[in-house]
Amino acid sequence: MSFLKAENLSFTYPDGTCALHSANFDIDEGDFVTVFGKTGSGKTTLLRQFKPQILPNGTQGGTLTMSGRALASLTEREALGAVGFVFQNPEEQIVTDKVWRELAFAPESAGLPQGEIRRRISEIAGYFGMEEWFDKKTDELSGGQKQLLNLASVMVMNPAVLVLDEPTAFLDPIAAADFIAVLKKLNRETALTVILAEHRLEELIPVSDKLLVTEDGSVKYFGETRDVCRRCGAEYTAFLPAAARLFHALGETGDCPLSIKEGRSFIRKYKNNIPPEAEQKALKAAPALEWKDVRFRYGEKTPDVLRGVSLTVNEGELFCLLGGNGSGKSTALKAAAGLLLPYEGSVKVFGKPLKKYKNGSLYRSCLTYLPQNVQTVFAHDTVREELEEVGADLTELPLDWSKLLDRHPYDLSGGEQQLTALAKALAAKPKLLLLDEPTKGLDALAKKTLGDILLHLKQNGVTIVCVTHDAEFAAAYADRCALFFRGEAVGDDTPRAFFSENRFYTTAANRMARGHFDGVITVEQAAEVCRKNGRGDA
Amino acid sequence: MKQFSRLHPVVLFFYFCAALGVTMFCLNPAVQIISLGGALLLNLIVDGKPKKRRFLPLLMIPLGGLLNPVFSHHGQTILFFLNNNPVTLQAIYYGLNMGGTACAVLFWLSCFTQIMSSDKLLCVFGRFSPKLALMLSLILRFVPLLGRRSRESREALQAIGLFREDNFFWKLRSRVRVFFAVATSALENGIIAADSMEARGYSVGRRTAYSVFHFSWADGVFAFVSAAALGVVLIVLRAMQLDFYPTVTLKGSPVACGVGLAAFALLCLLPGALQGIAGLVRKRNIRRSLAYGKEAETA
Chain A positions in Cβ-Cβ contact with residue B141 (cut-off 8 Å): 94-97, 138-139
Cis ω before A275 (30° cut-off from 0): no
Same domain flag for B116 and B128: no
What percent of chain A is predicted at pLDDT more than 90? Answer: 65
Question: Least CB-CB distance to A76: which of B180, B189, B204?
Answer: B204
Residue at A181: amino acid letter:
A
B77 touches chain A (CB under 8 A): no
What is the Cα–Cα distance from A227 to B238, expressed in whole angstroms? 88
What is the Cα–Cα distance from B273 to B268, expressed in whole angstroms? 9
- Asked whether residue B210 is assigned to any structural domain, the reply reads no
Which of B168, B199, B230 marks a domain boundary? B199
CB within 8 Å: A390 and B160: yes
Chain B positions in Cβ-Cβ contact with residue A371 (cut-off 8 Å): 152, 155-156, 159
Same domain flag for B64 and B137: no
- For the segment A197-243, what is each residue's pLDDT rounded down to a tens digit? 998 898 899 999 999 999 999 999 999 999 999 988 888 988 999 99
CB within 8 Å: A89 and B212: no
CB within 8 Å: A53 and B199: yes
The CATH number of the domain covering residues in A316-342+358-493: 3.40.50.300
Strands A32-37 and A210-215, by their bridges, are: parallel
Which of B143, B171, B199 marks a domain boundary? B199
Residue at A429: amino acid letter:
K
Pick the CATH number of A4-96+157-240 from 3.30.200.20, 3.30.420.40, 2.40.50.140, 3.40.50.300: 3.40.50.300
- Say whether pLDDT at A1 is over 80: no
User: Domain count of chain B?
Assistant: 2
Question: Least CB-CB distance to A428: which of B161, B181, B210?
Answer: B161
Which residues 24-63 on chain A approach chain B with CB closer than 8 angstroms?
51, 53-54
What is the Cα–Cα distance from A233 to A214, expressed in whole angstroms? 12
CB within 8 Å: B199 and A96: no
- Say whether pLDDT at A272 is over 60: yes
Question: Could you tell me how far CA A161 lies from the centroid of its own chain?
Answer: 24
- Asked whether residue B88 is assigned to any structural domain, the reply reads yes
Selected residue of B146, B198, B204 to mutate for chain A interface (largest A Cβ count, 10 A): B204
What percent of chain A is predicted at pLDDT more than 70? Answer: 99
- Asked whether residue B71 is assigned to any structural domain, the reply reads yes
B215 touches chain A (CB under 8 A): no
Strands A318-323 and A463-467, by their bridges, are: parallel
- For the segment A125-143, what is each residue's pLDDT rounded down to a tens digit? 999 999 999 999 999 999 9
- Say whether pLDDT at A475 is over 70: yes
CB within 8 Å: A95 and B197: yes
What single DSSP character describes residue A521? -
Show the beta-strand stretches assigned E in A315-461. Answer: 318-323, 344-349, 352-353, 367-370, 432-436
Same domain flag for B97 and B225: yes
Best CA proximity match to B229, nearest among B254, B257, B253, B261 = B261
CB within 8 Å: B159 and A339: yes
CA distance B143 to chain A (A): 10
Q: How large is the average pLDDT for residues A154-169? A: 95
Identical fold, A4-96+157-240 and A316-342+358-493: yes
pTM of the full structure: 0.88
CB within 8 Å: A376 and B203: no
Q: Report the pLDDT value the prediction gives residue A276, as an integer from 0 to 100.
A: 83
Q: pLDDT-derived band of residue B299, with 50, 70 and 90 as boundaries? A: low
CB within 8 Å: B156 and A377: yes
What is the Cα–Cα distance from A269 to A535, expressed in whole angstroms? 6
Chain B positions in Cβ-Cβ contact with residue A391 (cut-off 8 Å): none
Q: Could you please report the per-residue DSSP string of chain B?
A: ---GGGS-HHHHHHHHHHHHHHHHH---HHHHHHHHHHHHHHHHHHHSS--GGGGGGGGHHHHHHHHHHHH----S-EEEEETTEEEEHHHHHHHHHHHHHHHHHHHHHHHHHHH--HHHHHHHHHHH-HHHHHHHHHHHHHHHHHHHHHHHHHHHHHHTT----SSHHHHHHHHHHHHHHHHHHHHHHHHHHHHHHHHTTTTSS------S----HHHHHHHHHHHHHHHHHHHTHHHH-EE-SSS-EESS-HHHHHHHHHHHHHHHHHHHHHHHHHHHHHHHHHHHHHHHHHHHHH-
Same domain flag for B8 and B105: yes
Same domain flag for B97 and B224: yes
- Asked whether residue B240 is assigned to any structural domain, the reply reads yes
Same domain flag for B223 and B293: yes
What is the Cα–Cα distance from A449 to A455, expressed in whole angstroms? 10
CB within 8 Å: A157 and B201: yes
Chain A positions in Cβ-Cβ contact with residue B186 (cut-off 8 Å): none
Strands A83-86 and A287-296, by their bridges, are: unpaired
Same domain flag for B188 and B227: no
- Say whether pLDDT at B1 is over 80: no
CA distance B159 to chain A (A): 5
CA distance A473 to chain B (A): 24
Q: pLDDT-derived band of residue B293, with 50, 70 and 90 as boundaries? A: confident
Same domain flag for B270 and B132: no
Q: In which domain, by residue range, is B74 found?
A: 4-121+217-298
Q: How large is the average pLDDT for residues B8-18? A: 95
- Asked whether residue B131 is assigned to any structural domain, the reply reads yes
- For the segment B250-265, what is each residue's pLDDT rounded down to a tens digit? 888 899 999 999 999 9
* A vs B: CB pairs below 8 A: 178
ipTM of predicted assembly, 2 dp? 0.88
